[in-house]
Every structure is written in C-alpha cells, then in structure tokens.
Structure 1
Amino acid sequence: MPVNLVFYEEAFLILRAPPPVFEGDSVVLRCHGKEHIAPKTLTFYKNDQALELSRPSSELYIRHVNLQDNDEYKCTHKKPWSWGNIISSNMVKVQVQELFPHPVLMVRPPQPIDGSPVTLTCQTQLPAQRSDVQLQFCFFRNYQALGSGCSSSSEFHIPAIWTEDSMWYQCKAETKNSQVGKQSIEFKIPVQRAFADFQTRIVPASQSVFEGQLLLLNCSIKGVPGPLKFSWYKREMPNKETKILKSSEAELKISKVNIGDAGEYYCEANNSRRSFVSKAVPITVKVPVSQPVLNLSTGRTRAHEGDLMTLHCQSQRGSPYILYEFYYENVSLGNSSTLSGGGASFNFSMSTERSGNYYCTADNGLGAQRSEAMWISVLDMTKNRSIPVAAGITVGLLITAVGVFLFYCWFSRKAGGEPASDDSRSPSDSEPQEPTYYNVPACIELQPVYSNDPKENVIYTEVRRTQPRRKHAVQESESPRSRCQMAEKN
C-alpha cells in the first residue's frame, strides 16, 4: 500500500506505522530522520512509556499483535553532544482489528433428554479480508478437553448425554499457528431425565385370554435412545417376581396359555447406561368349567316323604365366578354362584311328587356343563299303612262270624235236646239220633292269616257245617273237625 510522507521544515523525526492490522499480524514501526541517526540514540515509547529493546534499532518490531497493542507510539532522538536536547517524532496510533469475535457455544437440542445425542457448535466469523485464515476448534467439559483434541470442525457430537453429564461446557476457536485463540462463555447444559413412553400391544386385544390360546405381548418405547435390550418380567404376587430369561426381545410369545401364566407382565428396556421399566399389564386366564359332579348328602337315593335332602354340585376346574343351577326333570329348582372351588349346595324337602331325575349345571360364561342325572325315589308310607288296617278289619269280621257260628252250634244242640229222663228212648232205637261224642274238643277258633304283600291283601275264610244224618253214630264216624273248619289262605 502506498504511503505518503509529509515533512515539515521543523520536523526532524517521523514514525511510520502500517495501515490497520488484524490480530496475530506482525507490525513494524520505523523511526526516520532527516539525517542519518544512529540507532542507539533512538528510543520508542508506548503511551509515553519508554520501551526497552533487545538491541538498538530504528525499528520497533511487535510480534503477533492483539487488541492490547492498539495504543499510541512515538520515537525520540537524543544528540550525543547535547545535554537534555531530545527530539520527538510524531504520535502514531496502531489500529489492531479483531480477527474473529469470541465464539459462542450452541447446543442442539438446547434441553436434551437423558441418553439422547447432543451436538455442540462453536460459532465465530472471519472478516472478508482474512477469509483464508484457517481456524481450529476445541471443546471442553468442566475445563477438560472432549474428544481427541482440537479439529477443523466447528461441531462436536456427543452420542448420548446423561443427567450426570449436566456440567459446564466451553469451546475455543484459534488459528492453526495458535497465534490467536479465543474461548466462549461457559455454558451449563440442562439434561432432563428421560421418561420412557412404553406401548404394550396384546394379541388377542384383551387382558383376558382363554386357556390354550396364543398370547403375544409387544413392548415399544419412545424417548429413549438405543440400542435397547428388553427383558420381560411376570409378577404373580406383590412380593414375587419372575424374570423370563427366554425373552430378551421386545416381543413375548406364549403359544398355549395355561392357568399358571396368569399374572402381571412388564418389560424393562436397557440401553447399557440406564434401565427403563414399563407399567404392568394384568393378564387373566379363563378356564372353562369341567363337567360337574352331583352328590347327595345322605348317599342314599331312596327317601321317605318329608325327608330333608341336600344336593351338592361341584366342578373340579373352572375360572370364577361359577354359576351352579339345580334341576328336577328339566325344571330349575334354583341357582347359586361361588368364587371358590367348593361348589354349591341346594336343600329341599322330599315328597311323593318329587321322585325322578335330578341333575345340575355349571357355567362361568365359557360354556355350561351338565352333570349326570341321579334318580331319587320316595316311599309312599300312606299306601303301606292301608294293608294292616284292611287286615284288622278282616280279622274283626272273622271273629264276629266265628262267634255267631259257635252260638248257633250251641243253640242247635240245645234246641234238638237230649232226653233228660225218657227211658223209652234208647240208643238202640231205629230212629236216627244226634250222635253224642265224648272227649271231642270244641270247635277250633279260626285264626286270621294275612300278608303285607300289596298284591295279596284279601283273606279268604271258609266255614262249613255238617248236617245231622239219620244213621248210627258209629257208622257216621263224623269228625269233630267237620263241624268247624277254617280254610287257609290259598
């Protein structure tokens, strides 16, 4: 750049300075005189303060100026033969321009989530006149360098930042020769703790599955960086948890569900730094009821009228609640539901009208099951009591008939009469007489014979009387039993 020097007649020394310079440049200030001036007679001043040079020179060399060198300079000459006669040059102000401003540290995202990636950017700008200057950038956390050191990239990538990494961060921009370097203001990155957004998908789309069905649980998570490793757990009771080691994937598959698979399931996602746990999903397994068994409390299927009977119906398997219903000849007698596996009972009083088939059903909403039928018979005591009553009436009539007959026999013998003192009549007479027997027992009293057999409740009684004959008693040989005879029951 051309420089015009103007000399006045009274000017003896002139200090020449370069045009405006940038930080890091080298500056040479030259002190000229009208005459040849010995370098040892020259002195340079900065803001009226004498500068000490390493050796006498007419040039002031400032290596790598910075903004602090932006001051006023002058030079003086002292003639060696004169005492106190000092000649001063003009005052020159060195203008040092900023090569680039202090960098600003930028963070993306500004409020990262625990475990998410973060990008740090060190922003600054070179002037157009020095756009060819190459800068390098360094990043620090709590004054400790990040990465392997400075690089030409103004960005630094952190794969995952955690809540414990919420510290003070800083960056530095400098020229490659390290002549000019500037640091940013310290900045603390607020790292928020991650809240995992779990999505649990169930196939079938219900938390209740039937025994033998396929159960598929899928766990997806948002807001947590990977790679993730999943683990599944089943909680059967508040203090009992089981880790399902066979599944480390996001999907849990149970081909055939049984009653032992019921419980609360949750998944755990781990990204090698922290674990995240989902909410528990309760899974219930519905088991259809088995065929119920109907029992009778007495154990006997024959009862009397008025007996109190208790029917008990129970299914060995089945999910609660189970509804038990009792039937008599396809007519419902009543129902009862139960949560436990003890079954249900039904009480009723027997009557002659309730002889027949009894059975029960069990149903928990997955299909009713019916027990085998049980025949219960009732004995009719009223019909059985009619037999002795009829027999008693018959015996009474029989006794009355026998009494009348005996009286008749006695009266006939009395009326026919034996002659008390009639000697003219003798046994030798030819007229037939009523035979006289001695030591002949009286007519045998008829004994009733009866049976409780409902088919044979009629008693037959036969009474015979032999008429007196006109023959000799000896020839007659009439048996006493011929007068009174009872026919036994055929």
Structure 2
Amino acid sequence: MPMLLWLLLLILSEQMDYNGTRASVPKAPRREQSGVAPKAVLLLDPPWSTAFKGEKVTLTCRGISQSPARGDTFWYRDEKLWKIQHNAIQIRGSGNYQCKTQGSSLSDAVHVEFSHDLLILQASHPVFEGDNVTLRCQVKEDEKAHEKVYYKDGKQLPNSYNLDFIIVNSVSRDNSKYYCTATWRILSIVPIKRTSKSLNIQVQELFLHPVLRVSSSTPIEGSPMTLICETQLSPQRPKVQLQFSFFRDSQTLGSGWSTSPKLQIPAMWTEDSGSYWCETETVTHNIKKRSLTSQILVQSVPVSNVNLEIQPTGGQLIEGENMVLICSVAQGSGTVTFSWHKEGRVRSLGRKTQRSLLAELHVLMVKESDAGRYYCAADNVHGPILSRRIQVTVRIPVSHPILTFRAPRVQALVGDLLELHCESLRGSPPILYRFYHEDVTLGNSSAASGGGASFNLSLTTEHSGNYSCDADNGLGAQHSHGVSLRVTVPVSRPILTLRAPGAQAVVGDVLELHCESLRGSFPILYWFYHEDDTLGKSSAHSGGGASFNLSLTTEHSGNYSCEADNGLGAQRSEVVTFSVTGTSRNRTGLTTAGVTGLVLSILSLAAAAAALLHYARAQRKPGGLSATGTSSHSPSECQEPSSSRPSRIDLQEPTHSKPLAPVELEPMYSNVNPGDSNLIYSHIWSIQHTKENSANCPTMHQEHKELTVLYSELKKKYPDDSAGEDCSRGRAHEDDEENYENMPRALLASDH
C-alpha cells in the first residue's frame, strides 16, 4: 500500500512538470559582434544537458584555438562570476553556466539540469543551428519501462515509438518543447504511464546575426559606396560556408547571393537613397539571418565649370566635314542634363540627360549656314550653368571657276586690251586666281572677297590660242574649262604688182595682176580694178596674196589698183599705170611692099579656103568649131560678152549641139608673117547676122547693129617651144593628121 501511494504521488508530480511549471530553460543572452574576441566554447561530459540527481557533469572551457584554455578560466553561474579555476570543473547542481578564457569572450550559456524524476528526456550537447540532435528517453537506475514515445509540442514525432533514442534533423533556435513517455506495469498487471519534463533543446547560433556596415551613410552623388555584411561563425563550426546578399527597399543589389561579404557600388545617385540591409545564409540554405536596416541618404553636388570643346580643334571646319560638340563639367553629381545652343537660334541643337560629367553632340555634314557662335549648358536640378561661347568657321572649297573675256569689240584685234576674268561662284575667300595661255602661266591675282579676279593683256598675234584659269583658297585648286581666242589683224595696204611677158606689153599678152597685203588675218579677199571698174576677185587663205590674169587688148591701157579685205576694214593699193601698145608681139616689119602684098594675097586665099574647110567640118561635127573659129551655137540662144572687162571666151567645150546657119564671112584684117613661130596667122572676121540670127538674139541685134567681129588665131598643133603654151586658152582639135588649131579670141560689139 505505501508503495502504491508513492507511485501515485510520483505520477501527479510528473503531470505538473508536463504543464511547464519546472522545465523552463533560460536562453543565453544574445550578443552582437562588434570587433570583440571570438566566444569561448563550453563542453559537457557526458554530453547531455539533463542528468539524474546525484550524478556529476564535467564542464570544459575551450578558447579560440579549440584546445583547453591555458591560465585561469572565469566561470559563471546564472550570469554571475562563480569561480576562477582551471579550464575544467565538475558540477552537481542545476544552473546556467558560462566561461571565459584569456583571448576569448564569454561563451554562450548552457543550462544543465539535475532531475529527481524517474524519467527524463536528454538532448545531446552541443547543438548548433541546422544540426541533427539526438533525444534519449532515460529511466533512473534499473527501472524497466516499455512503450517509450517522443513528442514535439504535444504531437508524437513520426517513427518514434518504443525507441531508446531518436534523431531530430536540422533543429533551429525556436521555442519548441520536446518530451517523452514510458509505461510501467505494477506487478505486471496495472500499467502506469510516466511523462518526462518538457525540454527546450539548447541550439547554439551557427553564426551571429549579420550587421550591415556602410562606408558612408551620407555619400555624395557620383561617389562609390562599400557595403559589408558582417557576421561570425562559431569556432566549433569553422568549415561551414556562408553566402551573402544585399538589398535596398526590397530590391536585390548586385548579382544576388555571393560568397563575398562585400558589395562595391561604383557611384551613388540621389535615387539610390533608401533603406539597406543584408542577409547571410549557409550554402545548404537551411539557416538564414537578416541584419537590421540602415538608412542611406545620397547628397547631390551642383554642376560647376561648364566647358564647351569643339572638334576639329579651334572650330575651323570645311564644308561637308562632321563637327563634334563636347560639353563637360568639372563638378556635379547625379543626373546631369546637357544642352547645346547656337546664337541667333531659339531652339536648342540637342539635349542629353545622363549620369556623366561629359556629353557629346555630333553635327553631320556641316554647311555654310552652320557657321556662328556656339555654347552649351549643364543642369542637375540646381539650375543651368552656361559655358563660354566659341566661334565656328565653315570654309567652303572653291567651285570650278568660269573664265570670260572682256574686250572692246566682239572680234579681238591686235593692240586691243583684253581683260581675262576668272571667278568661282562658291568658295571661302581669299581666293588666288592663276591665268594660263596654252598651259603657260600668264600671272595671278588674289580676291580678298567675292567677285573673282582679272588679268589684262595687250593683244598681239601670238596671243591667239586656248586660255584657262584656276582658283585656289587652300582647300584644293579647281581648273576652269578652256576658252579659245583668235586675235585678228587688219590687212595692211596691199601692193599691186603687174607681171607681163616682156618689158613692153602688147596686145595679146597675158597680164598677171598680183595683189598682196604683207599683214592681216586670213582669209583675205582681193578685188582687182581697171579705172575703177571691177575686173574680178580672188580669195587667199594663206600667205602670198592673190592674182588675176588678163589677156591684153589696146583698151587695157590705163590705171590699175587692187583692194584687200578680211572683214576688219578694206585697204586700197596704190594706183599702177599700165600701157598696151597696139602692135602684136608676133608682128614683124616687112622688107618690101611688094613682098607684103604678095604674101597677103596668098594668105587671104589660104584663109578663105581654111574657113570653108572648117565650116564644112563643123557641119559634120555637131558642137564643133566653125570655120571662123567661133563656138557652134543654136540660133535660139545668145551669148553676151562681159561688161566689166575684156575677157577671153573659152570655146573649147561647146554647149550646143546644133551648128550655126551659114553666114557671110568678111575678112577685116590679117597678120602676115607673124613673129611667133608657133602662130601661122591671125585674122579678124566680121560676121554679118541674118534676120534669122537677129531674131533669135534680139539683144545683140539692138546693141551691135548686126555686126560682130571675130578674133581668131591659127597655131601649130605641135609647137616648137612649150614656153608659149597658154593654159587659159581653150583648144578645138581637128583630125589627128592636121597640124593646126583655130583659137577664137573674143566677140566684140561693132562699136569696138
């Protein structure tokens, strides 16, 4: 009976313990790291935080070297200095124990419980965050218990039935309560269930809560910032790997988790102000701790010393080049707004907002209108600051120049003052102009402003040819197109020369009139005159003048002149007087009158026979010569002599096929025994026109009164001297076996 009562009292006391009235375990005080020495480590032997009353537990204090501490060790019980002793002591009473050695700080508190109960729950020690812990349900002495069961916060742990111990994985520092139950049978009949006291597992910190350290809580805009997440691993777990992450206002900074406890921010800006903290966790991700927040306020600095730089340096540009406007500030924080401006223009050229102390604006393909004064402005909310103004000059390469001639008249003459004017319509002054004649430099002239330049030239005949010019303002020379110039020379007063076969001109000679101007541009037109009557004209395209041939008669005596004209003014020659004698050069004196009469009679008969012979042959040969030496003409046609001067009529090529009707031939005069060996005789015939012929040629009938004189010569066909040939005379050939030819000279009016 007393034994039964004792057991009931024991059960009631155990139920009271289960309700939590005796099993509270104080936590070790939390300490933040602040540059103090690492904590000492307190070890238990046996390694259980709960023991039965009357048992002994040995406490050992270890320093940072994880070896037993040397020298005096300070022992604390319930946060009070208890003993100063060696590094190991034995205890028998419950309490919170701590220790401290030289070179280390105070260890975490360890609660050791000595229980009077028959059933206790033991937890292995030491235990760190994330460790696996062993729980053992222990019965005092040799008491036998059955059906052991383990619980956490009133719930049975899985797979924990009737085991002497279990392992709880990855414990944490929380307020979970663990206990166990066991069953006894009294006299092997009545079952009695016992419950241990509740137990808080003493889980030590694997690493301290991190503390965020910043290089400055009020950084300047644009300055760098260093963040350090500071913590400390337990000396008993030195190989645990940690990783770190930094945050601002719930936004992750950097690349996220990193094994480095530092984060370097290159530059801080006003928008970077806010709340910062860091987190530390094990690489296995089962333990994570967060630091307290720190407020960081970024301060801004107003911009100062705004400067504008222009490339190319000096603001000297060539049209078509690219220009770069560089705006910079010596100081200024945060976001800076840069703008570029040109004097006289309302709107800005461009605007850029960026976190930089320098910005660029590119102007492509500058034009002449881009020249002017430029400046820039910078602003970071404190107000714009302007730079100094810089002058930009845009130089324009010269265009192809145009060469023009300026002369007193349309046609340039020798002696004129010619102005060569060269001008480029585009190009920055000053411009140097060079003038060329056939690629030979004539000279140069500079134009300080627009309008081109000129070069004066007094013309000579050598100045004809091609002219050009070029323009150069240092940006590349340009050449003009070539322009041709022809310098004309007025004709000089011509010289008339008369060229006859002999010293004394006689009837029948061929007189050559030669007119020549020694100076004058070609072509030159020459006119020939006899007593102001025009004889004819001839054009000369090169030197040597021009000639006119005249078969002389007695009427050709008189004054001769010529005129030269090349369109620049006619010039008249000096008058040359010429005299023609009435005697033919072939006539010779007769020695006696009797001989002369005899010969005249014989020759008259021969001439009449020859004329009849020619007339007969002309009837047989259409278009041939008549017996008198005249051309065969149709009765219906008429041929008039030239009115300007006496001229020879070439009857070599007949123009009509019908022969003339027979007419009466009346000899008027004959040369007997002519002096020319090639000339047999010359004869003058008069032709009396019939009414039929007069009707067909009314003009001749009216002017010549039915009388026409025919001059003819009978010459050898094969002359003895070739020097007597006259190219201007036509030939009418007889049969091949005849040795004479009849040369008609001219048809003259009856009044001649």
TM-score (norm 2): 0.34
Equivalent residues in 2 for 1:67-466, closer than 5 Å? 74-76=277-279, 84=287, 86-87=289-290, 132=303, 135-137=306-308, 146-147=312-313, 157-160=315-318, 172-177=326-331, 180-181=356-357, 189=365, 196-204=399-407, 208-235=411-438, 241-245=439-443, 250-254=453-457, 256-298=458-500, 300=502, 302-381=504-583, 392=594
Where structure 2 has 5 or more consecutive residues not aligned to the other structure, the ranges are 1-208, 233-243, 248-252, 334-355, 368-394, 448-452, 599-752
Q: Secondary structure in 2 aligned to 1:285?
A: coil
Cα 1:136–1:386 shift into 2, 3 Å: closer
Contact 2:277–2:292 (CA under 8 A) maintained in structure 1: yes
Q: Measure, in 1, the Cα distance between the counterparts of 2:413 and 2:270.
A: 82
Counterpart residue identity of residue 353, structure 1: E
Segments ≥4 residues shifted beyond 6 Å:
12-15, 27-31, 66-72, 90-96, 185-188, 190-193, 382-387, 393-396
1:347 to partner: Cα distance = 1.1
Contact 2:419–2:455 (CA under 8 A) maintained in structure 1: yes
Counterpart residue identity of residue 316, structure 2: I
How many correspondences in the alignment? 312
- Which residue in 1 is equivalent to 2:120? none
Counterpart residue identity of residue 539, structure 2: S
Q: Secondary structure in 1 aligned to 2:459?
A: coil
Contact 1:292–1:314 (CA under 8 A) maintained in structure 2: yes
1:157 to partner: Cα distance = 2.0
Q: Measure, in 1, the Cα distance between the counterparts of 2:596 and 2:309.
A: 134
Q: Measure, in 2, the Cα distance between the counterparts of 1:290 and 1:321.
A: 13
Cα 1:302–1:92 shift into 2, 3 Å: farther
Q: Measure, in 1, the Cα distance between the counterparts of 2:219 and 2:293.
A: 23
Contact 1:289–1:369 (CA under 8 A) maintained in structure 2: yes
Cα 1:352–1:182 shift into 2, 3 Å: same
Q: Measure, in 2, the Cα distance between the counterparts of 1:373 and 1:360.
A: 8
Cα 1:39–1:94 shift into 2, 3 Å: same
Where structure 1 has 5 or more consecutive residues not aligned to the other structure, the ranges are 1-11, 32-37, 55-59, 97-128, 141-145, 148-155, 236-240, 397-490
The superposition leaves residues 198-236 of structure 1 with CA deviations (integer Å, 9 ceiling, x where unpaired) of 24343326563222222112212122223221211101x
Q: Measure, in 1, the Cα distance between the counterparts of 2:417 and 2:538.
A: 32
Q: Measure, in 1, the Cα distance between the counterparts of 2:445 and 2:504.
A: 60
1:292 to partner: Cα distance = 0.8
Contact 2:221–2:301 (CA under 8 A) maintained in structure 1: no
1:258 to partner: Cα distance = 1.8
Q: Measure, in 2, the Cα distance between the counterparts of 1:323 and 1:88.
A: 121
Cα 1:360–1:74 shift into 2, 3 Å: same
Contact 1:13–1:90 (CA under 8 A) maintained in structure 2: no
Contact 1:269–1:275 (CA under 8 A) maintained in structure 2: yes
Contact 1:76–1:89 (CA under 8 A) maintained in structure 2: no
- Which residue in 2 is equivalent to 1:49? 257
Q: Measure, in 2, the Cα distance between the counterparts of 1:330 and 1:390.
A: 44
Q: Measure, in 2, the Cα distance between the counterparts of 1:132 and 1:264.
A: 66
Q: Measure, in 2, the Cα distance between the counterparts of 1:68 and 1:302.
A: 129
The superposition leaves residues 216-265 of structure 1 with CA deviations (integer Å, 9 ceiling, x where unpaired) of 12212122223221211101xxxxx31114766721112x3221222222
The superposition leaves residues 85-108 of structure 1 with CA deviations (integer Å, 9 ceiling, x where unpaired) of 623567999999xxxxxxxxxxxx
Q: Secondary structure in 2 aligned to 1:49?
A: coil
Counterpart residue identity of residue 225, structure 1: S
Contact 1:44–1:73 (CA under 8 A) maintained in structure 2: yes
Counterpart residue identity of residue 65, structure 1: M
Counterpart residue identity of residue 226, structure 1: P
Q: Measure, in 2, the Cα distance between the counterparts of 1:157 and 1:370.
A: 71
- Which residue in 1 is equivalent to 2:92? none
Q: Measure, in 2, the Cα distance between the counterparts of 1:169 and 1:67.
A: 34
Q: Measure, in 1, the Cα distance between the counterparts of 2:220 and 2:464.
A: 75
Q: Measure, in 2, the Cα distance between the counterparts of 1:310 and 1:363.
A: 20
Percentage of pairs with the same residue: 28
Q: Secondary structure in 1 aligned to 2:315?
A: strand
Q: Measure, in 1, the Cα distance between the counterparts of 2:482 and 2:419.
A: 15
The superposition leaves residues 330-381 of structure 1 with CA deviations (integer Å, 9 ceiling, x where unpaired) of 0001111222122111012111111111111101122211112222222212
Larger mean Cα displacement after TM superposition, 324-333 or 42-51? 42-51
Larger mean Cα displacement after TM superposition, 366-375 or 67-76? 67-76
Contact 1:77–1:87 (CA under 8 A) maintained in structure 2: yes
Counterpart residue identity of residue 507, structure 2: E
Cα 1:386–1:215 shift into 2, 3 Å: closer
Cα 1:72–1:135 shift into 2, 3 Å: farther
